């Protein structure tokens, strides 16, 4: 019945790991060929792989794990998906209903444990309700602000027969609002017409809304000529080659993007949530602007920043209406003032905030990513990342022209996300070039998934910027803790080339900038999983940077003096 329901929901792939409490479902999987099961090596990997699958396709990812430890291992992935609004359906086995509460073998209160880290979850005690619950779960995961859901299915419920109902029979009271209020939209259009220093600030909500939303965004941005910046989550919604593109904003965002946010008179936030990595010091955040906020989740509006024009609705629908109203009113903007604003932005661009001192002896991580960008940009390319300095550099130096091409753990910041995620992406796009830009420490957190990559011949490229350090932790210790580098180096690292070979994959090591291009080409050309051990400069810091507790216009550039820039108030922030 579970498999029938998944099939009716259009599922083609499940990521999972079997165990005692899900054996009946695994038995069903064995006896069919419609749904492909990918056996991961750890349940956390299954959830991240499903996230990668979901983010690169726009379809929900499906996970199947057993009770107890299977479910608890999935918790990090669930929380990650909740923070980044990724639609995931996790099916967990549970001990039989008559044993629940008896501390049975591999029993855990799964719905209790996962209640705060799912959008919703269910314990199904009656087989007659199983199919309806699965369909409802898909509906909840994908409607409104997407998110992870979990269905806990006791083993006796899996064994029992019951009445199956198809997806069409389902009616749900959960129907989030998608159309924005026309009065508010008109107010925003009026503000667009009058704005002299406008900026679009877009986020993952644009990607989640679907490819059509990205198209509408491009149309609106190009028609108005307003500059646009994006959060880490929203990269690709507007093309990096677009003429109004400012680059990413936030703590490690570009100077021109942050200065534009600080100095604007109209901020149009679209599917973004004013995260603390974006805003910096709240009382100095974009002090002179009128703020419009488009979000499908009413709780995002006014949560941290007071909004002047709030619009609750799906980004795609709202953008369509904005364009309609704006065109109907005569496509007006303050063109000359906006041109002056663009000139100001060009001056900020000249600061060249991503500049770094290159070296002929050692590979600078920025240089490695520049070369990776140069040598892979023509490919059908998908990028995942782990978390840390390499993630920020990847966001700064890699360019994204399309949505759904960039998978990174934004809200939760999960080290170990990128590798399993790249497996999910590659499964969904077998012929694409899938690269996980990683740090060696993050990568080791889920390195067991090499087994999965090799087993299913998924040619994922693990591009590890190896500085033998927890680079971001090291950077903060340098800035904040008097250069006392407590526990932030990677001792006893494996030989990554031999490690790759031990798994039956290919290993490449590169430590000389002169060899880098050839090594990257070799990685791209190899038909199979590759671990690329790129030995980079060990003490490079990630700039530009807004130190904790500072405002957008107080950012540090590459060569800045970093001692004492974070005051005691800022140091308690993360």
Q: Helix-strand-coil percent breakdown of the chain, rounded to 5?
A: 45, 15, 40
Which residue in the list 4, 28, 99, 106 is annotated as catalytic? 106
Q: Hey, what's the torsion of the CAs at 297, 303, 306, 309, to 10 degrees? A: 0
Rule CB under 8 A: choose which of 306, 332, 340, 569 binds other proteins: 306
Q: Apex CA 246: angle with CA 242 and CA 252, to 5°?
A: 135
Residue 445 annotated to the active site: no
**Residue 265 within binding range of other proteins, rule CB under 8 A:** no
Which residue in the list 43, 440, 537, 540 is annotated as catalytic? 43
**Residue 244 within binding range of other proteins, rule CB under 8 A:** no
How many whole angstroms separate alpha carbon 226 and alpha carbon 276?
24
Residue 155 annotated to the active site: yes
**Residue 101 within binding range of other proteins, rule CB under 8 A:** no
Rule CB under 8 A: choose which of 162, 242, 298, 482 binds other proteins: 298
**Residue 287 within binding range of other proteins, rule CB under 8 A:** no
Q: In the 3-class helix/strand/coil scheme, how is 143-162 assigned residue by residue? A: CCCCCEEEEEEEHHHHHCCC
Residue 106 annotated to the active site: yes
Exposed, middle or buried, 428 (CB in 10 Å: 0-12/13-18/19+)? buried
* Closer by beta carbon to other proteins, 120 or else 481: 120
The least CB distance from residue 1 to other proteins, in Å, is 21
**Residue 120 within binding range of other proteins, rule CB under 8 A:** yes
**Residue 308 within binding range of other proteins, rule CB under 8 A:** yes
Residue among 282, 238, 159 at smallest CA distance from 403: 238
Rule CB under 8 A: choose which of 56, 110, 158, 307 binds other proteins: 307
**Residue 421 within binding range of other proteins, rule CB under 8 A:** no
Residue among 146, 415, 368, 398 at smallest CA distance from 247: 398
The least CB distance from residue 412 to other proteins, in Å, is 15
**Residue 33 within binding range of other proteins, rule CB under 8 A:** no
**Residue 430 within binding range of other proteins, rule CB under 8 A:** no
* Closer by beta carbon to other proteins, 82 or else 398: 82
Does an H or E element contain 374, and which? helix 365-376
* Closer by beta carbon to other proteins, 176 or else 528: 176
* Closer by beta carbon to other proteins, 310 or else 439: 310
Residue 267 annotated to the active site: no
Which residue in the list 44, 119, 155, 449 is annotated as catalytic? 155
Other Cβ atoms closer than 10 A to 416: 26
Contacts of 8 (CB under 8 A, 6+ apart): 135, 166, 167
* Closer by beta carbon to other proteins, 133 or else 344: 133
Q: How many chain residues bind other proteins (CB under 8 A)?
A: 30
* Angle, in degrees to the nearest 10, between helices 335-349 and 255-263: 140
The least CB distance from residue 176 to other proteins, in Å, is 6
How many whole angstroms separate alpha carbon 93 and alpha carbon 104?
13
* Closer by beta carbon to other proteins, 176 or else 210: 176
**Residue 276 within binding range of other proteins, rule CB under 8 A:** no
Residue among 218, 205, 201, 204 at smallest CA distance from 178: 205
3-class secondary structure, 196:
coil
Q: Sketch the per residue contact string, 311 through 340, with other proteins: x for CB under 8 A, - otherwise.
A: -x----------------------------
Return the structure tokens found at 313.
Answer: 């609705």
Rule CB under 8 A: choose which of 10, 101, 112, 166 binds other proteins: 112
**Residue 179 within binding range of other proteins, rule CB under 8 A:** yes
Q: 415 with 470: CB under 8 angstroms?
A: no
* Closer by beta carbon to other proteins, 182 or else 328: 182
Rule CB under 8 A: choose which of 220, 246, 269, 301 binds other proteins: 301
Counting every residue written for the chain, the total comes to 574
The least CB distance from residue 346 to other proteins, in Å, is 34
Q: Which stretch binds other proteins (CB under 8 A): 168-176, 249-257, 364-372, 560-568?
A: 168-176
Residue 105 annotated to the active site: yes
How many whole angstroms separate alpha carbon 16 and alpha carbon 39?
5
Q: Which stretch binds other proteins (CB under 8 A): 45-53, 180-188, 261-269, 513-521?
A: 180-188
Q: Which stretch binds other proteins (CB under 8 A): 53-61, 107-115, 476-484, 486-494?
A: 107-115
DSSP class of residue 350 equals T
The least CB distance from residue 121 to other proteins, in Å, is 8
The least CB distance from residue 306 to other proteins, in Å, is 6
Contacts of 508 (CB under 8 A, 6+ apart): 497, 519, 522, 523, 530, 531, 532, 533
**Residue 115 within binding range of other proteins, rule CB under 8 A:** yes
How many whole angstroms separate alpha carbon 467 and alpha carbon 540?
9
Q: Which stretch binds other proteins (CB under 8 A): 17-25, 306-314, 325-333, 470-478?
A: 306-314
CA distances from 412 to 77, 81, 233, 237 (A): 9, 8, 12, 21
Q: Sketch the per residue contact string, 182 through 221, with other proteins: x for CB under 8 A, - otherwise.
A: -xx-------------------------------------
Residue among 331, 434, 366, 479 at smallest CA distance from 49: 434
Return the structure tokens found at 524.
Answer: 């791209």
Which residue in the list 233, 472, 523, 555 is annotated as catalytic? 472
Q: Which residues of 312-341 are buried (b: 16+ CB within 10 A; e: fewer)?
A: bbbbbbbbbbbbebbeeeeeebbeeebeeb
Which residues are registered as beta bridge partners of 532? 463, 508
The contact set with other proteins (CB under 8 A) reads 111-112, 115-116, 119-120, 123, 140, 145, 173-177, 179, 181, 183-184, 297-299, 301-303, 306-310, 312
Active site residues: 43, 105-106, 155, 472
């Amino acid at each position: 019945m579970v498999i029938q329901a998944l099939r009716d929901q259009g599922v083609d792939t499940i990521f999972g790991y079997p165990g005692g409490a899900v054996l009946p479902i695994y038995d069903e999987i064995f006896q069919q060929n419609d749904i492909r099961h990918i056996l991961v090596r750890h349940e956390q990997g299954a959830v991240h792989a499903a996230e990668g699958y979901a983010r690169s396709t726009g379809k929900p990812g499906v996970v199947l794990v057993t009770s107890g430890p299977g479910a608890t291992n999935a918790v990090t992935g669930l929380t990650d998906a909740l923070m980044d609004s990724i639609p995931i359906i996790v099916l967990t086995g549970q001990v039989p209903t008559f044993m629940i509460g008896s501390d049975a073998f591999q029993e855990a209160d799964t719905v209790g444990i996962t209640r705060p880290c799912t959008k919703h979850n269910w314990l199904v005690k009656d087989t007659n309700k199983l199919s309806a619950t699965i369909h409802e779960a898909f509906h909840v995961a994908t409607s409104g602000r997407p998110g992870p859901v979990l269905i806990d299915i006791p083993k006796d419920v899996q064994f029992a027969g019951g009445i199956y109902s198809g997806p069409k029979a389902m009616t749900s009271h959960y129907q989030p609002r998608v159309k924005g209020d026309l009065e508010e939209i008109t107010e925003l259009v009026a503000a667009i017409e009058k704005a002299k220093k406008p900026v679009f600030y877009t986020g993952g909500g644009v990607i989640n809304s679907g490819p059509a939303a990205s198209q509408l965004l491009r149309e609106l941005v190009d028609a108005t000529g307003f500059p646009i910046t994006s959060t880490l989550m929203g990269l690709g919604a507007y093309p990096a080659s677009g003429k109004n593109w400012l680059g990413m904003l936030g703590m490690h965002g570009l100077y021109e993007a942050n200065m534009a946010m600080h100095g604007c008179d109209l901020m149009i936030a679209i599917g973004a949530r004013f995260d603390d990595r974006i805003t910096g010091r709240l009382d100095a955040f974009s002090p002179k602007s009128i703020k419009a906020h488009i979000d499908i989740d009413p709780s995002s509006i006014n949560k941290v920043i007071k909004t002047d024009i709030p619009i609750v609705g799906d980004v795609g629908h709202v953008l369509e209406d904005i364009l309609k109203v704006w065109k109907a009113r005569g496509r007006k903007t303050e063109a000359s003032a906006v041109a002056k604003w663009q000139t100001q932005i060009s001056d900020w661009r000249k600061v060249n905030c991503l500049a770094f001192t290159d070296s002929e002896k050692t590979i600078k991580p920025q240089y490695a990513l520049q070369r990776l960008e140069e040598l892979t940009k023509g490919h059908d390319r998908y990028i995942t990342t782990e978390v840390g300095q390499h993630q920020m550099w990847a966001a700064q130096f890699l360019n994204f022209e399309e949505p759904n091409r960039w998978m990174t753990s934004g809200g939760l910041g999960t080290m170990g996300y990128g590798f399993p995620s790249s497996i999910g992406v590659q499964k969904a796009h077998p012929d694409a070039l899938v690269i996980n830009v990683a740090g060696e420490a993050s990568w080791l957190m889920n390195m067991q998934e090499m087994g999965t990559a090799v087993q299913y011949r998924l040619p994922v490229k693990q591009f590890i910027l190896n500085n033998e350090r927890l680079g971001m932790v090291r950077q903060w210790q340098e800035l904040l803790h008097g250069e006392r580098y407590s526990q932030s180096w990677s001792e006893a690292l494996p030989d990554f080339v031999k490690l790759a070979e031990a798994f039956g994959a290919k290993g490449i090591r590169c430590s000389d900038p002169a060899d880098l291009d050839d090594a990257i080409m070799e990685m791209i050309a190899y038909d199979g999983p590759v671990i690329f051990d790129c030995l980079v400069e060990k003490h490079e810091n990630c700039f530009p940077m807004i130190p904790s507790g500072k405002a957008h216009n107080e950012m540090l550039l590459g060569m800045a003096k970093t001692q004492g820039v974070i005051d005691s108030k800022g140091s308690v922030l993360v």
